[in-house]
Amino acid sequence: MGADALAARLVAVLEPLAGGHDLVVEGVDVLTRGRLRTVKVVLDLADGPGSLGSDLLGDVTREISTALDEGDLVEGAYTLEVSSPGTSRPLTTPRHFRRAERRLVRFTLADGGERLGRVRSADDDGVTVASPEPAAPVENDVTLTYPQITKAVVEVELRRLEES
């Protein structure tokens, strides 16, 4: 079985397992170098802001390992790597933008412009973006539709936004 077919088969097996923990499978890659095979699984929270804790990630990794071994899904020896997407992942779906609520995001726009702002909210039509300053008034918010956005990436902040 080719790597793409195996990855698709693994996604089908792992999605219900991840869903049981309110997680989604962002991707599965199967890499083979000589006799070494690596299965990389990327998981994320199903929706909304927050972070995928290391305890939960560890628990789910053990469940994934058991499911792959018991189902004899991967032929031969392999290394399993399970991770979250990290902040460098481009935001490409409404769910990604909902996950980035309250985060500072740099947008590249279809008209060639750029905008830096905090995601206030996101739905299936677009993203409401606030000023980068945490106390900015709602009247200054701008709504961007997804066709207006060509690229969006969370900016890493050394000073965390105070929880409200």
Per-residue model confidence as pLDDT tens digits over 96-139: 999 999 999 999 999 999 999 999 999 999 999 998 876 777 78
Task: Judge if 36 and 104 occupy the same domain.
Answer: no
130 domain-assigned = yes
**For range 33-41, the mean pLDDT:** 91
Residue recorded with tokens 């560890």: 58
Task: Judge if 32 and 66 occupy the same domain.
Answer: yes
Phi then psi dihedrals of residue 24, to 5 deg: -125, 150
Task: Judge if 59 and 16 occupy the same domain.
Answer: yes
- CATH number at 100 reads 2.30.30.100
Structure tokens at 108: 């590249």
- CATH number at 36 reads 3.30.70.1350
Q: Which residues form the domain of 74?
A: 3-83
**How, if at all, do strands 114-122 and 36-45 pair?**
unpaired
162 domain-assigned = no
* Residue finishing a domain among 83, 106, 130: 83
Task: Judge if 52 and 114 occupy the same domain.
Answer: no
Sheet (strand 126-130) strand order: 142-145, 126-130, 114-122, 104-109, 149-154
How many Å separate Cα 102 from the centre of its chain?
16
Does position 159 have pLDDT exceeding 70, yes or no?
no
Percent of the chain predicted with pLDDT > 90? 67
Per-residue model confidence as pLDDT tens digits over 23-34: 999 999 999 888
**pLDDT value at residue 23:** 96
**pLDDT value at residue 4:** 83
Does position 91 have pLDDT exceeding 90, yes or no?
yes
* Residue finishing a domain among 30, 49, 83: 83
89 domain-assigned = no
CA distances to 8, 54, 84 from 51, in Å: 26, 9, 9
